[in-house]
């Protein structure tokens, strides 16, 4: 592998890692802070992609569609939390798995009824639809660079929200001791509803942002669900910083695994997870 | 469903009534008193949910279209359907197939799309001896090492869809190429079919790249293609993977210096989603848009009229499955129990298909033309015949 190709592969790794982070960050919020094992997370990603497809067609502008889609996703998140999720906080993980698995089936069926089973594409926003040549044959799409930048900005935004704001302080406190926060006069029900909606919105946003390059197809959510859980577990449950580091690590493992170890490319990510968990069973940034 | 129940009880009534009515035979019209023969039970085991739902529906639609064109009867006998959604789940393949064959006792088994599910169905077909027609799955062994007198295919073998591609690429001056696909059984079969054809005409595969199924993160491997600098790229992708691959290949700037080739699944049913990225791509398959076949024009018109949809290659294969069944039934005058007689009639038969006439091979797979097609707008336009009467080598098949 010559140097130029090596650096392009590094770029590929970072770009894939950042997109993974975006999907997984919502999961780490819901799983880590609320303690809900949310198997339907992939479905929210899928809903986002289909929303981008419909709204872009309807509104005509990708970025406006993105904004509208986030609003829809937040509403879906609030409604779901109120309808079903809030009954799960005091229950065993098995109930959560059962219910959120049921949600996957419901969302898949709704998707089939509303949008059908065809594959759809979302056009890349025209302003970013050009490429920078890297070698004589290869170029890099500017939209992919923009995606990475947006992912980074969101990572920074989430860090600020959770570490520096009053809301973030309540979220962190709520994850440690629910009853104590409640007895201090904070409406924990409302707080959890907001966190859940935020998690749904993050997943849907990832689906929307990625839709021009990933295209939109049935079952797309299941593909990201498993790798999202891997990110959350490696990074340490509930740690946004951990999710970022883990997502980048997986980006590198996946990219270079495909290139250097093609025979076991499908396993590399899981081998990495096994190795990290042997070293730190609670994940890189998890609390023991 | 209620209809069929009502019909069944009416049939029972007719049977008991027939004896009494026979006495009055002299004065009544003959058709009224003859008890109708039992309906032929057709098992449709196809995907109606999941990724391949659209394919299962197209096959079913076209199968029923043919029956409707024949007035709802084949060889004078009505049909009833036992429909089973196989969900393209290989884990349930054997169970589902044996349920529909042994419990529902279908006379003929039609299915399926997914090769992994097909492997289970072939096992059940071989054990039970039930007449089986495969309307899609290209799983090579079904008409190769696992071929059987009662198993027929009206679609293709994986090998067959891509074997002609090497010759085409050589004619376009591509002496080297890179290969990329998902690492699973179908990908492996496609690779072997392509490699055999390409190397026979002197081509050299400089890099073969494999992606874990169903991973669609292509960036790393696209970079590898750029680094290997082949003259062209050949690939096998279908459905959502095909859409993303064609778009990513174009966005990475590879398309203009290293043209992309594949078999027809790369651009079938996906063109609207692929948009400009797919324009000009050359593919091989046994069906194309704007084929100059009169039967095709008639089929397309009738299909569009019946379902308000344009038919695709899967519909054609389903239509031919019904045609094949018709030929078998006619030969035995509707006596479904005479499986031997049906098989004899179906072997070596020539089917007048919308894709053009094709002949049943000794291994029970179509001997058919492989067409070269090019993406123009949202059509896979017919360019020419890439390989006349291409026959699968049917390796390991001891029949015939």
Residue A187 distance to chain B (closest CA, Å): 42
Question: Which residues of chain A have a CB within 8 Å of the CB of B257?
Answer: 136-137
Residue B239 distance to chain A (closest CA, Å): 7
Residues on B contacting A at a C-beta cutoff of 8 Å: 49-51, 53-54, 183, 209-217, 219-227, 229, 239-240, 242-244, 247-248, 251-254, 257-258, 269-270, 272-275
Residue B51 is nearest to which of A8, A140, A218, comparing CB atoms?
Answer: A218
Residue A117 is nearest to which of B53, B248, B253, comparing CB atoms?
Answer: B53
ipTM: 0.83
Residue A214 distance to chain B (closest CA, Å): 6
Q: Residue B1: its pLDDT value, please?
A: 41
Chain-chain contact of A133 with B270 (C-beta, under 8 angstroms)? no
Chain-chain contact of B252 with A141 (C-beta, under 8 angstroms)? yes
List the beta bridge partners of residue B295: none
| Cα gap B274→B270, rounded to integer Å | 6
Q: Token pair of B173, please?
A: 């001056």
Chain-chain contact of B217 with A213 (C-beta, under 8 angstroms)? no
Query: Nearest-CA neighbor of A128 among A153, A155, A150, A154?
Result: A150
**Does residue A241 sit within a domain?**
no
**Does residue A279 sit within a domain?**
no
Question: Which residues of chain A have a CB within 8 Å of the CB of B219?
Answer: 12, 15-16, 255
Q: Residue B19: its pLDDT value, please?
A: 44
Which of B253, B260, B269, B272 is the best substitution to test chain A (most A C-beta atoms within 10 A)? B253
Q: What is the mean pLDDT of each run of 10 residues along chain A (288 residues)?
A: 87 93 90 86 96 94 95 96 91 92 93 86 88 86 92 93 90 83 88 93 95 86 90 88 94 93 89 94 84
Nearest chain A alpha carbon to B47: A117
Q: What is the mean pLDDT of each run of 10 residues along chain B (400 residues)?
A: 48 47 44 65 92 88 96 93 93 95 96 92 96 95 95 97 96 97 91 96 96 87 94 93 92 93 93 92 96 94 94 96 96 92 94 97 97 96 96 90
Does the domain at B160-285 match CATH 3.40.50.2300? Answer given as yes
Which of B177, B178, B217 is the best substitution to test chain A (most A C-beta atoms within 10 A)? B217
Q: Residue B26: its pLDDT value, please?
A: 42
Q: Residue A138: its pLDDT value, please?
A: 87
Chain-chain contact of A219 with B219 (C-beta, under 8 angstroms)? no
**Does residue A264 sit within a domain?**
no
Chain-chain contact of B220 with A254 (C-beta, under 8 angstroms)? yes
Residue B340 distance to chain A (closest CA, Å): 40
Residue A254 distance to chain B (closest CA, Å): 9
Q: Residue B20: its pLDDT value, please?
A: 44
SS3 content of chain B, % helix, strand, coil (to 5): 45, 25, 35
**Does residue A255 sit within a domain?**
no
Q: Measured between alpha carbons, how far is residue B301 from residues A265, B244, B305, B307 in Å? A: 47, 32, 6, 10
Count up the domains in chain A and report the number: 1
Rounded to the nearest 10°, the torsion over CA A67, A71, A74, A75 is: -160
Q: Residue A33: its pLDDT value, please?
A: 79
* Domains B37-156+293-367 and B160-285 fall in the same CATH topology: yes
What tens digit of pLDDT does each residue of A24-78 get? 999 988 887 788 889 999 999 999 999 999 999 999 999 999 999 999 999 999 9
Task: Give the count of Cβ contacts less than 8 A between chain A and B.
Answer: 122
Which of A137, A216, A254 is the best substitution to test chain B (most B C-beta atoms within 10 A)? A137
Nearest chain A alpha carbon to B248: A213
Count CA within 13 A, CB hemisphere, residue B7. Answer: 11
Residue A254 is nearest to which of B217, B251, B257, comparing CB atoms?
Answer: B217
What tens digit of pLDDT does each residue of A111-131 get? 988 998 778 889 889 888 888
Question: Which residues of chain A have a CB within 8 Å of the CB of B177?
Answer: none
Chain-chain contact of A2 with B227 (C-beta, under 8 angstroms)? yes
Q: Domain map of chain B by residue range?
A: 37-156+293-367, 160-285
Q: Residue A219: its pLDDT value, please?
A: 82
Chain-chain contact of A138 with B252 (C-beta, under 8 angstroms)? yes
Residue A195 distance to chain B (closest CA, Å): 30
Q: Residue B23: its pLDDT value, please?
A: 43
**Does residue A51 sit within a domain?**
yes
Chain-chain contact of B273 with A9 (C-beta, under 8 angstroms)? no
Chain-chain contact of A137 with B257 (C-beta, under 8 angstroms)? yes
Residue B220 is nearest to which of A9, A217, A266, comparing CB atoms?
Answer: A9
Question: Which residues of chain A have a CB within 8 Å of the CB of B183?
Answer: 265-266
Locate tokens 């509930």: which residue? A238
| DSSP string across chain A | --HHHHHHHHHHHHHHHHHHHHHHHHHHIIIIIH----TTHHHHHHHHHHHHHHHHHHHS-HHHHHHHHHHHHHHHHHHHHHHTGGGSTTS-HHHHHHHHHHHHHHHHHHHHHHH-S--B--PPPGGG--EEE-SSS-EEEHHHHHHHHHHHHHHHHHHHHHHHSHHHHHHHHHHH-HHHHHHTT--HHHHHHHHHHHHHHHHHHHHHHHHHHH-B-TTHHHHHHHHHHHHHHHH-TT-HHHHHHHHHHHHHHHHHHHHH-GGGHHHHHHHHHHHHHHH-TT-TT---
Cβ proximity of A269 and A227 under 8 Å = yes
The torsion angles phi and psi of A271, rounded to 5 degrees, stand at -65, -40
- CATH classification number, B37-156+293-367, choose in 3.40.50.2300, 3.20.20.80, 3.40.190.290, 1.10.150.120: 3.40.50.2300
């Amino acid at each position: 592998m010559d140097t130029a190709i090596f650096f392009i592969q590094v770029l590929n790794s970072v770009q894939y890692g950042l997109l993974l982070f975006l999907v997984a960050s919502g999961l780490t919020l819901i799983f880590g802070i609320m303690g809900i094992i949310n198997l339907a997370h992939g479905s929210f990603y899928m809903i986002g992609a289909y929303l981008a497809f419909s709204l872009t067609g309807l509104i005509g502008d990708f970025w406006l569609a993105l904004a509208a889609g986030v609003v829809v996703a937040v509403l879906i998140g609030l409604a779901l939390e109120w309808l079903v999720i809030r009954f799960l906080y005091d229950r065993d993980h098995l109930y959560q798995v059962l219910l959120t698995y049921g949600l996957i089936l419901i969302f898949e069926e709704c998707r089939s009824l509303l949008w059908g089973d065809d594959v759809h594409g979302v056009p890349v926003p025209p302003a970013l639809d050009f490429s920078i040549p890297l070698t004589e044959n290869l170029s890099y799409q500017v939209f992919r660079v923009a995606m990475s930048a947006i992912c980074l900005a969101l990572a920074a935004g989430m860090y600020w929200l959770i570490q520096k704001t009053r809301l973030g302080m309540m979220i962190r406190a709520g994850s440690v001791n629910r009853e104590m926060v409640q007895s201090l006069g904070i409406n924990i029900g409302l707080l959890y509803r907001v966190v859940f909606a935020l998690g749904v919105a993050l997943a849907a946003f990832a689906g929307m942002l990625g839709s021009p390059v990933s295209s939109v197809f049935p079952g797309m959510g299941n593909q990201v669900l498993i790798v999202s859980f891997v990110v959350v577990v490696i990074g340490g449950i509930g740690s946004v910083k951990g999710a970022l580091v883990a997502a980048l690590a997986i980006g590198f493992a996946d990219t270079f695994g495909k290139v250097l170890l093609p025979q076991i490319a499908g396993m590399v990510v899981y081998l990495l997870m096994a190795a990290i968990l042997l070293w730190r069973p609670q994940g890189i940034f998890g609390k023991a | 469903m209620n209809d069929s129940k009502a019909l069944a009880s009416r049939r029972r009534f007719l049977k008991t009534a027939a004896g009494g009515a026979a006495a009055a035979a002299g004065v009544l019209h003959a058709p009224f008193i003859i008890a109708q023969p039992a309906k032929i039970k057709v098992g449709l085991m196809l995907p109606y949910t999941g990724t391949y739902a659209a394919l299962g529906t197209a096959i079913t639609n076209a199968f029923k279209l043919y029956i409707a064109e024949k007035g709802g009867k084949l060889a004078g006998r009505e049909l009833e359907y036992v429909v089973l959604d196989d969900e393209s789940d290989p884990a349930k393949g054997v169970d589902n197939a044996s349920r529909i064959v042994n419990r529902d006792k279908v006379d003929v088994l039609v299915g399926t799309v997914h090769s992994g599910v097909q492997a289970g169905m072939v096992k059940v077909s071989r054990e039970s001896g039930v007449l089986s027609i495969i309307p899609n799955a290209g799983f090579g062994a079904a008409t190769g090492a696992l071929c059987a007198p009662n198993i027929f295919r009206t679609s293709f073998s994986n090998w067959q869809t891509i074997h002609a591609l090497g010759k085409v690429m050589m004619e376009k001056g591509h002496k080297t190429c890179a290969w990329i696909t998902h690492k699973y059984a179908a990908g492996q079969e496609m690779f072997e079919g392509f490699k055999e054809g390409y190397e026979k005409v002197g081509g050299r595969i400089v890099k073969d790249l494999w992606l874990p199924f169903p991973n669609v993160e292509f960036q790393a491997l696209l970079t590898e293609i750029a680094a290997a600098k082949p003259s062209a790229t050949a690939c096998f992708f279908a459905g959502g993977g095909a859409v993303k691959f064609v778009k990513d290949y174009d966005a990475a700037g590879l398309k203009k210096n290293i043209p992309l080739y594949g078999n027809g699944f790369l651009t079938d049913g996906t063109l609207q989603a692929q948009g400009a990225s797919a324009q000009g791509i050359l593919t091989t398959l046994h069906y194309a848009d704007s084929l100059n076949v009169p039967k095709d024009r008639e089929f397309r018109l009738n299909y569009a009229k019946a379902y308000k949809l344009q038919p695709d290659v899967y519909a054609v294969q389903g239509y031919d499955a019904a045609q094949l069944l018709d030929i078998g039934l006619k030969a035995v005058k509707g006596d479904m129990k005479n499986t031997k007689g049906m098989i004899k009639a179906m072997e070596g038969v020539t089917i007048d298909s919308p894709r053009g006439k094709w002949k049943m091979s000794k291994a029970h797979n179509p001997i058919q033309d492989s067409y070269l097609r090019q993406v123009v707008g949202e059509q896979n336009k017919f360019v020419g015949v890439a390989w006349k009467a291409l026959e699968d080598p049917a390796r390991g098949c001891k029949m015939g």
